[in-house]
Amino acid sequence: MSGFEALTAAWQQGRIMPLTGPTSQERQALAAAIGPTGLADLERRWGPGVVLGSGGSTGERRWCLQPLTHLRRSAEATGRWLGAIGIEPSRCLHLNPLPSHHVSGLLPPLRAELWGAAHQVLPPVLLRDPAALAATVKLPAGRPVLLSLVPTQLRRLMARPEGLAWLRRLAVIWVGGAPLPSDLALSARRAGLPLAPCYGATETAAMVCALPPDRFLAGVAGCGQPLADVRLRLDAASGAVELQTERLSPGWLVAGMLQPLPRCEDGWWRSSDAGRLAAAGLDLVGRLDGAIHSGGETVFPEQLEQRLWVQAGAAGLPLQALLLLPLDDSEWGQRLVALVRPKATAGEGLLERLVALTASWAPAERPLRWLLCPHLAPDSLGKWQRNRWRQWLVELKAGSAPPGTAAGRDGNLPR
Q: Which CATH number belongs to the domain containing residue 144 in this structure? A: 3.40.50.12780
Helix (H, G, I), strand (E, B) or coil at 319: strand
pLDDT at 150 over 70: yes
Is residue 98 within 8 Å of 105, Cβ to Cβ? yes
Residue-level pLDDT at 59: 44
How does strand 240-245 pair with strand 269-278? antiparallel
Domain hosting residue 274, numbered range: 3-288
Residues 270 and 361 grouped into a single domain? no
Q: Is residue 406 part of a domain?
A: no
Residue 63: what residue type?
A: W
pLDDT at 400 over 60: no
Residue-level pLDDT at 332: 84
Q: Where are the alpha helices (DSSP H) in 68-158?
A: 68-84, 103-115, 124-127, 130-136, 151-158
Residues 224 and 314 grouped into a single domain? no
When mean pLDDT is compared across 59-68, 183-192, 259-268, 294-303, the lowest value belongs to 294-303
- 37 versus 183: the higher-pLDDT residue is 37
Residues 230 and 313 grouped into a single domain? no
Residues in CB range of 278: below 8 A, 6 or more apart: 222
Distance CA 99, CA 122 (A): 10
Q: Provide the CA 186 distance to its chain's centre, in angstroms.
A: 19
Of 288, 315, 349, the last residue of a domain is 288
Closest to 100 (Cα-Cα) out of 160, 157, 170, 19? 19
Q: Is residue 415 part of a domain?
A: no
Is residue 175 within 8 Å of 151, Cβ to Cβ? yes
Task: Quick: pLDDT tens for 136-148.
Answer: 999 999 899 999 9
pLDDT at 406 over 70: no
Report residue 274's pLDDT band, with 50, 70 and 90 as the boundaries. Answer: confident
Helix (H, G, I), strand (E, B) or coil at 361: coil
Highest mean pLDDT of the ranges 10-24, 331-345, 401-415: 10-24
Closest to 326 (Cα-Cα) out of 310, 356, 302? 302
Q: Is residue 78 part of a domain?
A: yes
pLDDT at 399 over 70: no
Indicate if the alpha-carbon torsion angle 341, 343, 187, 124 is positive or negative.
negative
Of 288, 314, 347, the last residue of a domain is 288
Domain count, the chain: 2
Helix (H, G, I), strand (E, B) or coil at 114: helix
Residues 272 and 309 grouped into a single domain? no
3-state SS string for 253-298 = EECCEEECCCECCCCCEEEEEEEEEECCEEEEEEEHHHCEEECCEE
Q: What is the mean pLDDT of the chain?
A: 88
Provide mean pLDDT across the span 22-41.
Answer: 90
> What CATH code is carried by the domain that includes residue 302?
3.30.300.30
Provide mean pLDDT across the span 172-183.
Answer: 86
Highest mean pLDDT of the ranges 17-31, 36-50, 300-314: 36-50
Distance CA 15, CA 110 (A): 16
Is residue 190 within 8 Å of 183, Cβ to Cβ? no
| Cα angle 218-222-227, degrees, rounded to a multiple of 5 | 100
Of 265, 288, 311, the last residue of a domain is 288
Residues 280 and 301 grouped into a single domain? no
Provide mean pLDDT across the span 355-366.
Answer: 90
Q: Is residue 408 part of a domain?
A: no
Report residue 1's pLDDT band, with 50, 70 and 90 as the boundaries. Answer: low
Residue-level pLDDT at 151: 84
Closest to 283 (Cα-Cα) out of 229, 228, 232, 218? 232
What percent of the chain lies above the pLDDT cut of 90?
59
Residue 337: what residue type?
A: V
pLDDT at 311 over 60: yes
Distance CA 241, CA 284 (A): 9
Report residue 121's pLDDT band, with 50, 70 and 90 as the boundaries. Answer: very high
pLDDT at 204 over 90: yes
Provide mean pLDDT across the span 329-340.
Answer: 86
Residue-level pLDDT at 60: 62
Provide mean pLDDT across the span 178-192.
Answer: 89
Residues 257 and 341 grouped into a single domain? no
Residue-level pLDDT at 66: 98
Kindly state the DSSP code that residue 179 receives in the 8-state scheme.
-
Q: Is residue 404 part of a domain?
A: no
Residues 247 and 326 grouped into a single domain? no
Q: Is residue 296 part of a domain?
A: yes
Residue-level pLDDT at 371: 93
Residue-level pLDDT at 162: 96
| Cα angle 274-183-406, degrees, rounded to a multiple of 5 | 90
pLDDT at 62 over 60: yes
Q: Is residue 194 part of a domain?
A: yes
Is residue 198 within 8 Å of 175, Cβ to Cβ? yes
Residue-level pLDDT at 57: 38
Residues 182 and 49 grouped into a single domain? yes
Distance CA 33, CA 54 (A): 12
How does strand 49-54 pair with strand 16-18? parallel
First to last CA, the chain: 55
The secondary element (H helix, E strand) that includes residue 305 is helix 301-314
What percent of the chain lies above the pLDDT cut of 70?
93
Residues 19 and 137 grouped into a single domain? yes
Distance CA 94, CA 288 (A): 33
Q: How many residues does the chain have?
A: 415
When mean pLDDT is compared across 49-63, 224-238, 261-275, 349-363, the lowest value belongs to 49-63
Residue-level pLDDT at 58: 41
Residue-level pLDDT at 128: 86
Q: Is residue 192 part of a domain?
A: yes
Torsion of CA 258, 259, 261, 262, to 10 degrees: 160
Residues 128 and 34 grouped into a single domain? yes
